[in-house]
């Protein structure tokens, strides 16, 4: 456009000059009109605003440029009114022409984490950029979060970048549940968090889970009989570490069931069972067959009640303590005579007595015309023991009875009448038998060594068994101390004390 304007101005000047030259042919010669002039030195008495040079100067003087300096571009929205070939120059327009068209405000409008990319700023210094970039770290810093706290507050992390947070001002473990803390109990169960969001680990428990009940000492093997069942434990607040346990297998140790173990101090327990590193090859003096010491503890043998506790019950007396007995089952029948009457039935045939009251196993037949009898049907009585049968066994009658053909029968006999050191013979009398090992030249038995240990002759044992009305029978030879002694048994249910 600026070249067009210059061309128009030159054409106007040339036109005026041509007209003047044409008129000169009609004028007389004069020195005033002699000679030739050249633009722009000609003074054609044209108006000053038509002076080409004056327009250019005016535009330049008012900040318009014919050619913009480096780093700027013409702004065609601002042309010189005297010469449109001159324009204002804009550094901002130059940036936009080069692709630097994004402002900081535009980039921020994309979101809280978006910023103008400082590395793509327009080189002429204008605040225009080619690119916007997401910068979460800068966004967090703008909101007051930092990434250099000695103890960041995990409850106040920056939402855009979790490496930035507010700093925690509370002491460590503040707010942790009782018996827990952040540091020092890392193996404990997580039971909560402190006020700054750090995990609180249980340091100890007042109540451990089922099975975690045994200390190091109780799971150490050796005489404890048990070892740890796994490496995990429960840290109890007063008892310390508690473990689960299992029986120690005691690998390499033996029960030594033949003759017992050598008590050399090297032994191991599996539960309550003692095992040995070395077994004996013969029994110790004074021990009976299988090298076991005789058990004389009535409690261990099952005689746990007193005579009064078994009152009215069938019982057995401990041979080592007559005050200790084993009680048979209580009277377990539940029907009384009144129960049967309420059902319009006779009483049953099987009965027993409990605390002075007679109970029946069941009720009998239906009463005839409402008339019930207290006598059970004889056809229902199937007990077989008479009082005389029990007497021949030196026993009381049992507690359960019924009547058949005018006789009272009992389900079984009751307690023995013989004291603990007596036996019942075939005549129903309590006698004192001979008992103990005896010497006899039978089988592999050897009377020479047997008598050296003051054992009696087997003839005494044989006679004792015969006094019971039974037949003595040789059983076997066994070892007691260093002697091979004989053992005799008596026929039927009794065995001589040997």
Ranking 22-31, 95-104, 233-242, 446-455 by mean pLDDT, the lowest is: 22-31
Q: Note whether residue 7 is domain-resident.
A: yes
Distance from C-alpha of 330 to C-alpha of 332, rounded to nearest angstrom = 6
Phi, psi for residue 448 in degrees, rounded to 5: -60, -55
Residue 468's domain comprises: 433-490
- Give the model's confidence band at 253: pLDDT under 50 very low, under 70 low, under 90 confident, else very high: very high
Residues 82, 102, single domain; the answer is no
Instruction: Tell me which of 77, 111, 134 is where a domain ends.
Output: 134
Strand partners, 352: 359
- Give the model's confidence band at 216: pLDDT under 50 very low, under 70 low, under 90 confident, else very high: very high
Bond before 120 cis per omega within 30 degrees: no
Residues 469, 441, single domain; the answer is yes
Residues 88, 109, single domain; the answer is no
Look up the pTM and report it: 0.34
Cβ neighbourhood burial of 91 (10 Å; 0-12, 13-18, 19+): middle
Q: Note whether residue 189 is domain-resident.
A: no
Distance from C-alpha of 433 to C-alpha of 489, rounded to nearest angstrom = 12
Token pair in block for residue 483: 């002697």
Q: Note whether residue 464 is domain-resident.
A: yes
Q: Note whether residue 349 is domain-resident.
A: no
Distance from C-alpha of 86 to C-alpha of 185, rounded to nearest angstrom = 82
Q: Note whether residue 346 is domain-resident.
A: no
Q: Note whether residue 119 is domain-resident.
A: yes
Phi, psi for residue 347 in degrees, rounded to 5: -70, 155
Select from 273, 274, 272 the least CA-distant residue to 264.
274
Instruction: Give the model's pLDDT for residue 207.
Output: 86
Residues 89, 106, single domain; the answer is no
Residues 459, 480, single domain; the answer is yes
pLDDT at 172 over 70: yes
- Give the model's confidence band at 151: pLDDT under 50 very low, under 70 low, under 90 confident, else very high: very high
Residues 87, 122, single domain; the answer is no
Q: Note whether residue 367 is domain-resident.
A: no
Residues 43, 120, single domain; the answer is no
Q: Note whether residue 243 is domain-resident.
A: no
Based on the structure, what is the number of domains in the chain? 3
Residues 34, 117, single domain; the answer is no
Residues 110, 77, single domain; the answer is no
Residues 127, 84, single domain; the answer is no
Instruction: Tell me which of 70, 95, 120 is where a domain ends.
Output: 95
Q: Report the residue count for the chain.
A: 498
Residues 19, 52, single domain; the answer is yes
Full DSSP string of 410-422: ESSEEEE-S-TT-
**Distance set, CA 223 to CA 61, 167, 180, 182, 213 (Å):** 115, 56, 35, 39, 18
């Amino acid at each position: 456009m600026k070249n067009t304007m210059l061309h128009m101005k030159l054409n106007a000047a040339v036109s005026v000059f041509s007209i003047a030259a044409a008129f000169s042919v009609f004028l007389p010669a004069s020195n005033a009109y002699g000679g030739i002039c050249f633009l722009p030195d000609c003074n054609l008495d044209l108006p000053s605003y038509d002076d080409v040079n004056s327009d250019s100067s005016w535009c330049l003087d008012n900040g318009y440029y014919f050619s913009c300096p480096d780093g700027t571009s013409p702004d065609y929205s601002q042309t010189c009114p005297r010469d449109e070939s001159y324009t204002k120059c804009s550094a901002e327009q130059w940036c936009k022409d080069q692709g630097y068209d994004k402002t900081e405000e535009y980039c921020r409008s994309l979101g809280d984490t978006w910023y103008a990319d400082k590395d793509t700023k327009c080189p002429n210094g204008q605040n225009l950029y080619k690119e916007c970039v997401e910068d979460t770290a800068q966004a967090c810093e703008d909101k007051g979060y930092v990434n250099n706290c000695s103890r960041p507050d995990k409850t106040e992390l920056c939402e855009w970048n979790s490496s930035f947070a507010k700093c925690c001002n509370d002491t460590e473990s503040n707010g942790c549940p009782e018996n827990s803390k952040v540091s020092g109990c890392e193996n404990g169960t997580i039971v909560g968090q402190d006020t700054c969001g750090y995990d609180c680990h249980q340091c100890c428990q007042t109540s451990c889970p089922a099975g975690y009940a045994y200390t190091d000492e109780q799971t150490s093997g050796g005489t404890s009989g048990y070892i740890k069942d796994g490496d995990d434990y429960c840290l109890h607040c007063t008892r310390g570490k508690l473990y689960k346990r299992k029986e120690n297998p005691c690998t390499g140790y033996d029960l030594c069931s033949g003759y017992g173990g050598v008590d050399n101090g090297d032994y191991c327990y599996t539960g309550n069972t003692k095992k040995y590193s070395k077994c004996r090859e013969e029994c110790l003096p004074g021990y009976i067959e299988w090298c076991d010491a005789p058990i004389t503890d009535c409690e261990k043998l099952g005689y746990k009640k007193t005579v009064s506790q078994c009152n009215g019950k069938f019982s057995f007396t401990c041979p080592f303590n007559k005050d200790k007995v084993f009680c048979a089952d209580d009277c377990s029948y539940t029907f009384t005579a009144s129960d049967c009457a309420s059902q319009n039935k006779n009483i049953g045939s099987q009965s027993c007595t409990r605390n002075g009251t007679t109970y029946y196993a069941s009720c009998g037949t239906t009463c005839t015309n409402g008339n019930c009898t207290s006598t059970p049907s004889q056809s229902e009585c199937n007990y077989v023991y008479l009082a005389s049968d029990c007497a021949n066994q030196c026993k009381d009658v049992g507690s359960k009875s019924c009547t058949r053909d005018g006789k009272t029968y009992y389900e079984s006999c009751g307690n023995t009448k013989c004291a603990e050191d007596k036996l019942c013979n075939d005549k129903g009398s309590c006698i004192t038998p001979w008992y103990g090992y005896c010497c006899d030249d039978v089988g592999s038995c050897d009377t020479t060594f047997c008598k050296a240990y003051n054992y009696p002759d087997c003839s005494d044992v044989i006679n004792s068994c015969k006094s019971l009305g039974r037949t003595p029978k040789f059983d076997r030879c066994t070892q007691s101390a260093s002697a091979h002694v004989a053992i005799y048994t008596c026929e039927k249910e009794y065995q001589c004390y040997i």
